[in-house]
Structure 1
Amino acid sequence: MKEALRYRLLAAQLEMARQAARSVVVVITGQAATGKTALINELNHRLENRLTEVHALAPSSEERARPYWWRYWRRLPARGRVGVFVHGWYGDALFGRADQRLGAGAFRDRLEQIRAFEAELAAEGVALVKLWLDIDRHVQARHLKALLQDPERAWQVKDSDWQRHLQHHTLAGLGKQLREATEAGHAPWHRLQGGPEHKPVTTLIHRLVEAMAGPLPRVERVNGPGAPPSGEAVPRLAQLSGGARPKLAKAAYRRALAEAQARLAGNARAIHRRGIPVVLVFEGHDAAGKGGSIHRLTSALDARGYRVHRIAAPSDEERAHPWAWRFWRRLPLDGRFAIFDRSWYGRVLVERVEGLATPAQWQRAFDEIRRFEGQLLAHGAVVGKLFLAIDKDEQLRRFHARAETPHKRHKLTEEDWRNRARWDDYCRAIDEMFVHTHDVDGGWALIDANDKRRARLAVLDHVNALLERRLAAPE
């Protein structure tokens, strides 16, 4: 019977790998001395190791220097693979609250984040298996003492195990609250007895086979962080239809550029000293001058302190992971800049307009984007979002100029002409993006880019203002 179940598990895993249509995330948490290590080792012997990764995390200095959820997003398994997390995000919440490193409100907030995180994974084809291991307090004490008396196993008992034993009642209450808050049809809890007298591996294997081969559950909707305030403060493309201004003279532009770049260099040094991460997003019409503006920005920065990410169609590796994975993994260390030339907003712009994302995907993305940016802000990051807009006539003029300039011809593609043919569709998507993702702390700067020189100065001025506002805030 055991061998038959083992072969069934292996067959399900290999078929899942062949289809590469889903991944499985297993989280095992609960009371101390329940045999989690032995359970994971036993499970690992039954799985194909090349398709399985086990994570037992203590946050590194690199992980502490990035937003909290980065450590988990970067370790998510690709489609066709299994990721096993010992305690994972639940252990952080559970033990943080038990040790009073998290207050009651922060604990509830973390559980809401977990619920949203798991819903996002499930919507992207990740099957979740969550196991809570219980043990009676007196059995736990007896087991810990027995381990200490065995010279070959005494090393397994740590001071933290006795601390968790003293917290048994507290952990039981917090665990109940945790499970109730994060129970969902797409992410159910399985509560089992652990300890030396119980062998939960059979139940876990059954749950894994269901996750690998069964139908994926319908994802329950999770309430988003709330729509940002709307009204006159929300940018609209129509705001830029007030007529052309005279072009800025080259001499005046050069003077203003040098001043703005010097100001930025000073602000960037202060940002580095304070350990403040900066995330800048550049979106805009084709040929609006995003690349030129980014170049003038980075010319004032230390090359060791920034990274420019040019986001195009996802690679095979990126397609094998949940949609947001490729953006989470590019977040900067504290004190550094990450500059995105195109970004996660592609889902509600080009992917929406070109039908590369389903209506359910791009509509869901508004909530996901607001949560993502909210987590960056909660970490203390500066988040700047700039949209460079030009009118249709100016875009056509720049397209022709690119076609006639040998060193710029590579910038003009068939995709640019195709996007231009859907100008009105893009404008509707852009305005809707502003409505759903513009707020006080992570708002959009709408840059009139019909004059490239004025646009570049406006970009530098906006970024400087964001940095100076953050530097003026109390630490």
Structure 2
Amino acid sequence: MLKDHVKGNVPDKDVLKTMIREEEAKLSGSLMKIKEAKLPVMVICEGWGGAGKGSTLGKVINAIDPRFFKLKTYEGTPSDDEKRYPFLYRYILTIPEGGKFTFYDGYWMHEITDAVREGTLSPEEYAKRIESINRTERSLHDNGYLIVKFFFNISRKEQKKRLEELMEDKDTEWRVSKSDLKENSRYDKCLEIYDRYLTDTNRSIAPWYIIDAKESKTAEWQMLGFLNQSIDTALKNKALAVPILQNTFPLVQMPKLSDIPLEGKTLTDEEYKETLDKLKKELRDLHYRLYRKKIPVVIAYEGWDAAGKGGNIKRITGALDPRGYEVHPIASPEPHEKSRHFLWRFWNRIPRTGHIAIFDRTWYGRVMVERLEGFCSENDWQRAYNEINEFEKELSDWGAIIIKFWVQIDKDTQLARFTDRQNTPEKKWKITDEDWRNREKWDLYEDAVNEMIEKTSTEYAKWYILESVDKKYARIKALEIVIDQLKEALDGKRKNK
């Protein structure tokens, strides 16, 4: 893209000033439309060191009410703490709410291109990163985000001149990094790397706009024009449905809930206590090894109301060092969560390497309660199966062990437990009117759960059914599954497929 870029015609200075003012007024005038449409806008500025990204960005931002935007700067190299999370983690955390802008002075490009330049990223890892970026940008777009990407382009000669001018002034020399100097000395190699990256990540839903940055006013005019054009298009497309993608991930065949036998899945109190003590000791020892080898674990719980998720989680955490895990009870999204991509609040809860995150309810609410209660559109929940598989694939490729439990009971067992909660003062807080309403929709929820399990039980993130008419049986089965999965990972037998 950079090599083939053809510079457009630029108006003379007086005309250019007028056109810039017109574009600024247009941008300012679109703010209320963006707010009313709840359109989240990501403006990503990349380019050569010294190309003027920051100064041009500053001028463009002046046309926007400061209550409508945030500015975020990313360094090419993540911190030691950030390295303990997936590649996408630190970038996803800063995506904007609906109706607002986030301007990025650098995003995920230079973390990749710097590593390629230094020879620390293999071709296989590069391909994975590109796939992750393209998937994520597509998912953001499909969930209503506008992504506008700019690359500020200057020649080698121009870059050298600007870097030297900055270094001559004590007040600006700090703006020139070793990476900038290295980039200029190896300009041709960097040009090859950048050109490839831009080509690999140039998609119709998030295209690259090349900015001729030799003249600052020209750069400002081009950026404003492309941004306004993109906003106009996004507002017009806001109401259009998004295509549902075919699943491309290997699935594990799973039985329907009605075909899972619950009779006979019981343990005596003596069997339970003896097995529980043994398994908890084994899990405790594995947890220490897990931390030492820095393997992250995600355990996700879904199931019927009153199925015993909480007690099941308690038996697992009872065997773990409390410094190495966190339980996340998931309720309805808060307003600031609801106004972002539905997976954003779960990215915020991903464990660092060596730690365990346990979710009491999960991202699967999108295809269950949100689907059945009308909290999202049909297009939203139909897309979510693939988006969830992609999310879990990111975690798996990062090295996480993903264990997903559905806690299964029958309608009679649920009714007995509901009645017990209703009639027992110390348990009454556990039962709500919503629980009774959901029970009336049992058949609809069962159909949704069957579809969910069928479409998201992948080889790298399989569903496990816990038969929980006898809670003791379900607790032991969960412990055994967790232990088996940790052993496979620690012994090097588990493969990310």
Same fold, TM exceeding 0.5? Answer: yes
Superposition deviation, residue 213 in structure 1: 5.4
Match of 1:13 in 2: 31
Structure 2: give runs of 5+ residues left out of the alignment.
1-17
CA RMSD of aligned residues (A): 2.4
- Within a 5 Å distance, the mapping from 1:52-91 to structure 2 comes to 52-58=69-75, 59-91=78-110
Match of 2:49 in 1: 32
State the distance in 2 between where 1:174 and 1:222 align.
Answer: 33
2:258 matches 1:238: yes
| 1:443-470: CA deviation from partner (whole Å, max 9, x where unpaired) | 1111111111111111111111111211
| 1:135-164: CA deviation from partner (whole Å, max 9, x where unpaired) | 122222333334334455333322211211
Superposition deviation, residue 288 in structure 1: 0.8
User: Secondary structure of the equivalent of 2:104?
Assistant: strand
User: Secondary structure of the equivalent of 2:43?
Assistant: strand
Superposition deviation, residue 400 in structure 1: 1.5
Superposition deviation, residue 423 in structure 1: 1.9
Structure 1: give runs of 5+ residues left out of the alignment.
none
Q: Among 154, 158, 169, which residue is 1:135 paired with?
A: 154
2:396 matches 1:372: no
- Within a 5 Å distance, the mapping from 1:147-158 to structure 2 comes to 147-158=166-177
- Within a 5 Å distance, the mapping from 1:121-270 to structure 2 comes to 121-196=140-215, 199-212=218-231, 214=233, 215=235, 217=237, 226-231=248-253, 234-241=254-261, 244-245=263-264, 247-270=266-289
**Contact preservation (8 Å) 1:311, 1:340:** yes
| 1:397-450: CA deviation from partner (whole Å, max 9, x where unpaired) | 222222121122222222222222222222222222222111222111111111
Match of 2:7 in 1: none
State the distance in 2 between where 1:53 and 1:185 align.
Answer: 25
State the distance in 1 between where 2:167 and 2:241 align.
Answer: 45
State the distance in 2 between where 1:400 and 1:331 align.
Answer: 36
**Contact preservation (8 Å) 1:228, 1:436:** no
Give the number of equivalent residue pairs.
Answer: 471
**Contact preservation (8 Å) 2:366, 2:381:** yes
Change in 2 beyond 3 A, CA 1:260/1:152: closer
Superposition deviation, residue 101 in structure 1: 2.2
User: Secondary structure of the equivalent of 2:108?
Assistant: helix
| 1:211-250: CA deviation from partner (whole Å, max 9, x where unpaired) | 455525468759667132344xx24323423x51174222
| 1:156-206: CA deviation from partner (whole Å, max 9, x where unpaired) | 322211211233223333333333333333312211111356631122223
User: Secondary structure of the equivalent of 2:267?
Assistant: coil
- The amino acid of 1:154's aligned partner reads E
| 1:286-343: CA deviation from partner (whole Å, max 9, x where unpaired) | 1110011011111222222221111121111111211111100011122221110110
- The amino acid of 2:49's aligned partner reads A
Superposition deviation, residue 51 in structure 1: 2.9
Change in 2 beyond 3 A, CA 1:417/1:99: same
Match of 1:473 in 2: 492
State the distance in 1 between where 2:269 and 2:73 align.
Answer: 58
2:479 matches 1:460: yes
After superposing the two structures, state which structure 1 stretch, 408-417 or 69-78, moved more. 408-417
**Contact preservation (8 Å) 1:6, 1:46:** yes
User: Secondary structure of the equivalent of 1:75?
Assistant: coil
- Within a 5 Å distance, the mapping from 1:305-454 to structure 2 comes to 305-454=324-473
State the distance in 2 between where 1:15 and 1:360 align.
Answer: 23
**Contact preservation (8 Å) 1:282, 1:290:** yes
- The amino acid of 2:258's aligned partner reads A
State the distance in 2 between where 1:345 and 1:399 align.
Answer: 23
State the distance in 2 between where 1:76 and 1:389 align.
Answer: 36
**Contact preservation (8 Å) 1:293, 1:456:** yes
Match of 1:47 in 2: 64
**Contact preservation (8 Å) 2:241, 2:379:** no
- The amino acid of 1:11's aligned partner reads G
- The amino acid of 1:6's aligned partner reads E
Superposition deviation, residue 370 in structure 1: 1.0
After superposing the two structures, state which structure 1 stretch, 252-261 or 137-146, moved more. 137-146
State the distance in 2 between where 1:100 and 1:222 align.
Answer: 38
State the distance in 2 between where 1:397 and 1:425 align.
Answer: 21
Match of 1:295 in 2: 314
TM-score for both structures, normalised by structure 2: 0.88
TM-score for both structures, normalised by structure 1: 0.92
**Contact preservation (8 Å) 2:244, 2:383:** no
**Contact preservation (8 Å) 2:244, 2:382:** no
After superposing the two structures, state which structure 1 stretch, 324-333 or 110-119, moved more. 110-119
- The amino acid of 1:229's aligned partner reads L
